[in-house]
Structure 1
């Protein structure tokens, strides 16, 4: 029986047809096509062994359906339960618990609330006013203010003074914002992470918003650390399709943005060189998942949010991740996102997300 891979996309034009053609051209008993949905019933079987989700963060109906598809036995990339639960503050805490360098991060109460919230009754658990001086002392200046659930360069501000920080917070409305340490980087890397194993680190300039085809941009030690830390994070999150950004300062890679479960895969963004790698490895992953489905009880449980791997605390308090066997060489590092949360401020000479 032929297994089917379904693709849910938005306005993308280059990746979808290339991916479908690649899967269908393999002649491995797996075909790919666009998913077509009407009004699914709660017990309706899913026709697909695998569904690749590229747009449910913008179309809530898709996310609602994809959770039902998991229940019906489909493997969804990415896990819609984890994607629903994820946010940048959780990511900061997770990276820190895994021993990965991350900018200091503070989450702020919302500035505004939906109708029906009575401030002196509904918000009795909140301190007021906020200790802005302590926040700035902790993260330093300049700092980054951004939406904890956002992406695509939206609602990201570089704040050079306390007054700027408070001003932008006061305009944040219903968003939950985080304040983050600004990393003055001297090297910037974006990794494309596929199948929780394949990691392709690419030189990236957020000031130009451009990938550079330059294979020797990292030392062996830096490359190994970036790839190992990327794999550790993506396996903890359980994402099969993600991009991660690393700001390197004094030889230390800081994970500054890794909540990109629908990474940019456009041929003009990636360059034809890296686009070919992405299409090939996405097809490899989709075919493998179609033929070797994961246990659905894992996907439907909290443990499944971490792909069945355990994050265990050592006596000293550091968290470790059981990741299985790591390759001796850096996959993709020397081989021939997504819309990042890079700073839009034109005055910023150093990118940060």
Structure 2
């Protein structure tokens, strides 16, 4: 019996094609770019596993993946939790897990769509904001950034109350977070696969990468890069975050200051896996890990429904310990 694996991707080329080619070398596996058309309300998924690299940009795909999960597919990443997550939730979750995070405050939107009547629809908002208390908690310098954003879009470094108010007034419809600025000594980006494997790579978010985007991997002898205790803590914290989030494919970034790795960015369920950025060595590693994980999930017949059946039982037995992991 042949198990089918589908991948949804947009403009990226290197990872999706390499993933398909390597999956198809495994006996009993057929991988392809998933084909999606009109979808009935109830169907059996033609794919045992679906890898999602694009639904954050295509709403139709996200809706389909939720239905496919009900139809028996194992979707990577879980479309239900991916839809629910945001950056600020991630910081709240990490702090409860005991993972070091910068001090962070979520701020109300500066502006709203025309349908919102500010005099009637926003009665629950504190006004004016207690800026003094907010700044006293976070301290300067700080980072003002969207609570659900990424890719350094609409991010500002603010060092004074005047700079903060100016940047906040320009934030328009975004829900923003004000976060402690970690003037890091070192920085790590981890590519995490299957909630079991973590590839830790030195990274510089300040540099411009080979394709013109912000951020560059630093290629060196990784075994001699970090002290063992820091490396072990980063790997352990990355695994804890991915188990709590239920992500099987993610990148987790740590800013290291005075020996402490602070989790900075870790809700990236379609992480950078381009060969142009990772280089051949790291690209081969994460691609092979993804192939192994997806093939195993397909052959074992895993489904998203199994995860929620387990979670429901766990919640009934011990609601204090229940989380999203399986």
- Normalising by structure 1, report the TM-score: 0.85
Q: Say which is worse superposed, 134-143 or 287-296, in terms of deviation.
A: 287-296
Kept in 2, the 8 Å contact 1:18–1:279? The answer is yes
1:220 is aligned, of 200, 225, 228, to 228
- The residue number in structure 2 matching 1:183 is 182
Structure 2 gap segments, 5+ residues each: 208-214
Kept in 2, the 8 Å contact 1:311–1:322? The answer is no
Structure 1 gap segments, 5+ residues each: 314-319, 325-353
Aligned residues: CA RMSD: 2.3
- The residue number in structure 1 matching 2:210 is none
Cα 1:311–1:285 change in 2 (3 A) is farther
SS at match of 1:111: coil
Kept in 2, the 8 Å contact 1:143–1:159? The answer is yes
Q: State the 4+ residue runs in structure 1 displaced beyond 2 angstroms.
A: 293-304, 306-313, 320-324
Kept in 2, the 8 Å contact 1:191–1:243? The answer is yes
- Normalising by structure 2, report the TM-score: 0.91
Kept in 1, the 8 Å contact 2:253–2:265? The answer is yes
Cα 1:291–1:303 change in 2 (3 A) is same
Pairs within 5 Å for 1:88-107: 88-107=87-106
Deviation at 1:213, TM superposition (A): 2.2
Deviation at 1:149, TM superposition (A): 1.0
Pairs within 5 Å for 1:1-353: 1-27=1-27, 29-208=28-207, 209-214=215-220, 215=222, 216-300=224-308, 303=311, 312=320
- The residue number in structure 2 matching 1:349 is none
> CA offsets per residue over residues 133-188 of structure 1, 9 Å max, x none?
21111111111111111112212111122111111211212111111111011010
Aligned residues: 316
In 2, the alpha carbon distance for the partners of 1:310 and 1:286 equals 30
Deviation at 1:294, TM superposition (A): 3.2
Deviation at 1:312, TM superposition (A): 4.2
In 2, the alpha carbon distance for the partners of 1:169 and 1:309 equals 45
Kept in 2, the 8 Å contact 1:309–1:323? The answer is no
Deviation at 1:206, TM superposition (A): 1.1
Structure with greater helix percent: 2
